[in-house]
Amino acid sequence: MTGIMFINSRIESLMYEVSFDPLGRKGKIVANISIIDENDLPDVLGFFRKAMHSGLSVSPYIKIIHPGDKTVSIDKGKIGLATACSITIDGVLLKAGIPVKPKFGGVVEIHDGVPLRFTDILTYESTTIDPLDVLMSQELTSVTEMVNTGSGKILANLREAPMAARDRIEQVLDALVGAGFSCILEVGEPNSDILGVQVGKDKLGIAVIGGTNPMALVQEHDINIDTQEMSILIEFGEMV
């Protein structure tokens, strides 16, 4: 009998398995897998690219997975899309010696490209379901509006890290941006609220764009998409 695994335990396990080196641009990242009908592939790729070009993804890289691919099992008539998950950021920070702790997923309100505040949050504690999956299913996002106008509501998540590691955090995040992971919404000040949310004593918050915003954009256009968040580890070199 398999025991129940809470989502925070799953996150911690994946963080330790991330081996991605942003400077060398190689190693394993955490990926989300989205399953779609093969006939929808051109439209879905178009929406994914729109989201990615608008900065509403973890990275702009995708792997297209066909039935028979060893990466993950895909049924006939379906196509899989592997995209970077934001837990990759936590894994790279951890690998750099920074004890980062993911806290929650939520919806962030954006106005004219400026993040204002979290409007809805769900913690990673005591749940077996990814908060961003729940929030996306509630149709709380307006990614289409965000892409078209620069204002809207998008999926994001927050992690805490020791304030003493701020300089090192900035170095690692800069390296990630250089590798195409330009998904950092905001790095908060020590002992200060970030996007309207309080952080712990001697901590700072790091808000990151959720990896499922491209999927939310597809969903907003009434295309069926089944997303399995934090699904697999994949070699960065397999993404294009």
| CATH number for 149 | 3.30.70.1360
Same domain, 103 and 38: no
Q: Which domain holds residue 124?
A: 96-213
Looking at residue 127, its pLDDT comes to 86
- Same domain for 100 and 199? yes
The predicted pLDDT at position 2 comes to 55
Residues 202 and 221 in one domain: no
Of 217, 181, 183, 233, which is closest to residue 36 (Cα–Cα)? 217
| Same-domain status, 206 and 185 | yes
Q: Is residue 2 part of a domain?
A: no
Supply the pLDDT for residue 1: 44
CA angle, corner 16, sides to 10 and 17, nearest 5?
90
The per-residue pLDDT for 125 is 86
Distances (CA, A) of 113 to 141, 146, 193: 15, 8, 20
Query: Domain tally for the chain?
Result: 2
C-alpha–C-alpha distance, residues 141 and 128, integer Å: 22
Query: For residue range 19-71, what is the model confidence (pLDDT) as tens digits?
Result: 999 999 999 999 999 999 999 999 999 999 999 999 999 999 999 999 999 88
Per-residue pLDDT, averaged over 99-114, amounts to 97
Do 181 and 133 belong together in one domain?
A: yes
For residue range 181-215, list pLDDT tens digits in order.
999 999 999 999 999 999 999 999 999 999 999 99
- Kindly report whether the global pTM for this prediction surpasses the value 0.75: yes
Residues 24 and 118 in one domain: no
**pLDDT by residue (tens digit) across 109-156?**
999 999 999 999 999 988 888 888 889 888 899 999 999 999 999 999
Q: How many CB atoms lie within 10 A of CB 222?
A: 6
In this predicted structure, the answer to whether residue 229 has a pLDDT above a threshold of 80 is yes
Distance in angstroms (rounded) separating the CA atoms of residues 216 and 144: 9
Cα separations (Å) of 27 from 17, 20, 191? 10, 4, 33
